[in-house]
Amino acid sequence: MHLCRFDDDRLGFVRDGRVFDITHMVEPSEREPVLAAAGMAAAFSDRDLSRLKSLAAGDVCLHSPIRMPSKIFAAPDNYRAHAAEMQADPVASFGRKPVPLDQAGLFLKAAGSLVGPSHGVVRRFPSRRTDYEVELVVIIGSEASDVPSSRALDIVAGYSIGLDITVRGTEDRSFRKSLDSYTVVGPWMTPASSIADLGSLSMTLKLNGEIKQHTRLDDMITSVSGLIAYASAFARLRPGDMIFTGTPAGVGPIRGGDTLLAQIDMIGEMQVSVRDHVVETR
């Protein structure tokens, strides 16, 4: 069972293509209602679900499962094939050389750039190359600092699919990846307890129906546990914080009118439309 935020900031369980409304079961004051409801999912029976109002998942507006994380970390060049393709493509990399995590560090994406799949991507600069990057997103469930890699997965609430949208250029990486709508997360959160072996999962991105990226998650250079441990050594992680874990080879440009379909085994898939920014006139 997955957990989502939908429509007018409502909360739902997702199963078999339907969204079951559980908004009334969580205190309105909860900062991150998806996290507050995560412990309830396993205890729900088919009979419990049958008593809830439900809608087809395709009929609701899906938001990011997390409202406003305090931090969104992201791992650069965390798949070997992607690091190689960036090194071989001076147009995309602008001469930047991939370096190991202990030298490059993680980078930050602005929380204000976060949207759900139903919002879509608004390409800010149509004249500049803007790329898709599909990633597994880790959602932190409890506050922690200096977490050893051996216990890092204990603080994970769940996983989502992410699109790290990137405008190519010479500006700082965090700046180029933090434009409005350039951090897409969804379509929901899958509880960590429901995924026994992350490395066995496959991740795919299709652009207008054509496969552009595909990998198994065990091809990461630094594992999910290693990324959590590294991040927690630099900052106290808080519930709702996110870690984008890197993208595989196959990144490429998007244009207004494109449709992206991102999929990860056991989590699901999210369809995201791309439109061009319209300059506001006063």
Query: In this structure, how many other beta carbons lie within 10 angstroms of the beta carbon of residue 94?
Result: 12
- Alpha carbon 160 to its chain's center: 5
Give residue 102's pLDDT: 82
- Which amino acid, residue 162? G
- Alpha carbon 89 to its chain's center: 25
Sheet (strand 268-276) strand order: 121-123, 268-276, 259-264, 202-207, 210-216
Ramachandran angles phi, psi of 206, nearest 5°: -115, 140
3-state secondary structure of 1: coil
* pLDDT over 70 (residue 91): no
Give residue 88's pLDDT: 62
Query: In this structure, how many other beta carbons lie within 10 angstroms of the beta carbon of residue 167?
Result: 18
3-state secondary structure of 161: strand
DSSP 40: G
Question: What is the tens place of the pLDDT at every residue in 42-85?
Answer: 778 888 888 999 999 999 999 999 999 999 999 998 998 766 77
Question: What is the tens place of the pLDDT at every residue in 182-226?
Answer: 999 999 999 999 999 999 999 999 999 999 999 999 999 999 999
Give residue 87's pLDDT: 67
Strands (E), 146-282: 156-164, 166-167, 183-191, 202-207, 210-216, 242-244, 252-253, 259-264, 268-276
Answer for the pair 164, 179: CB distance below 8 angstroms, yes or no. Answer: no
- Give the domain ranges of the chain: 2-59, 72-276
| Residues sharing a CB contact under 8 Å with residue 63, sequence separation 6 or more, in sequence order | 4, 5, 6, 9, 115, 116, 118, 119, 186
Question: What is the tens place of the pLDDT at every residue in 165-176?
Answer: 999 999 999 999
Percent of the chain with pLDDT over 90: 81
Give residue 75's pLDDT: 96
CATH 3.90.850.10 fits 72-276, yes or no: yes
Give residue 29's pLDDT: 83
Answer for the pair 240, 66: CB distance below 8 angstroms, yes or no. Answer: yes
pLDDT-based confidence at residue 153 (cuts at 50, 70, 90): very high
